[in-house]
Amino acid sequence: MKKLLLLIVALFLANIVIAQDSEVIRLSEPVQETETYEVFGAEVEEWNEALSLSEVVKSIERFSKTLGSDKDELSFSVEPITIEAEVAEVCMKKGCFFIAKNGDATARITFKDYDFFVPTDSQGKKVKFVGRFEVKELTEDQAKHYAEDAGEDPEKVSGPQKEYSIVATSVLVPRKL
């Protein structure tokens, strides 16, 4: 009987610890809300039809090949653009960035002027966002910093890295998966 009681107490305490670790951080309030979604950042009167992230990346890669130079690709940007993708990872410290994924395409999404953040429970949700799409080169130090923020081993990063990124002005996050 004592073992059963100890087991119950241990499971109860484990549930409390797990609940504390999975606490959702919401440092920004939504600027628009409905029963089905929340919008963070700037209000959007009407959401344009969204392109998939993979469509945008493929278009930019074709454009770059047409120009025949990786250097031209690194200075390429499009503004504003509405994109839809899944949140593959989100900054668990405060929701200050997320990694969007669609097919094989990924991009780092940050927020204009660091003015807003997304909830840390956004991972796995299909979101829409409006912003400036860029292709840029990260220094090794920047890439290591980002790897560390994402919970990855920064020592595995070597040299400069090409990155697709979007500086978002608005992010539409569904309330449920």
Q: What is the pLDDT of residue 30?
A: 95
Residue with tokens 């670790």: 21
Q: Is there a contact between 133 and 166 (Cβ–Cβ < 8 Å)?
A: yes
Q: Is there a contact between 155 and 147 (Cβ–Cβ < 8 Å)?
A: no
- Higher model confidence: residue 10 or residue 80? 80
35-86, pLDDT tens digit by residue? 999 999 999 998 989 999 999 998 888 877 776 655 544 455 677 899 999 9
User: How far from 49 is each of 73, 86, 97, 176, CA to CA, in Å?
Assistant: 25, 16, 23, 21
76: nearest Cα among 64, 84, 66? 64
Q: What is the pLDDT of residue 19?
A: 41
- Average pLDDT, rounded, for the chain: 83
Q: Is there a contact between 72 and 62 (Cβ–Cβ < 8 Å)?
A: no
When pLDDT is averaged across residues 20-27 and rounded to a whole number, the result is 77
109-126, pLDDT tens digit by residue? 999 999 999 999 999 999
Residue 72 to residue 91: CA distance in whole angstroms: 30
CB-based contacts of 65: which residues, under 8 Å, 6+ apart?
Answer: none
Q: What is the pLDDT of residue 10?
A: 46
Q: What is the pLDDT of residue 13?
A: 44
Q: Give the strand pairing for 126-138 and 98-102.
A: unpaired
Q: DSSP string spanning 78-126? A: EEEEEEEEEEEEE-TTT---EEEEETTEEEEEEEGGG-----TT-TT-E
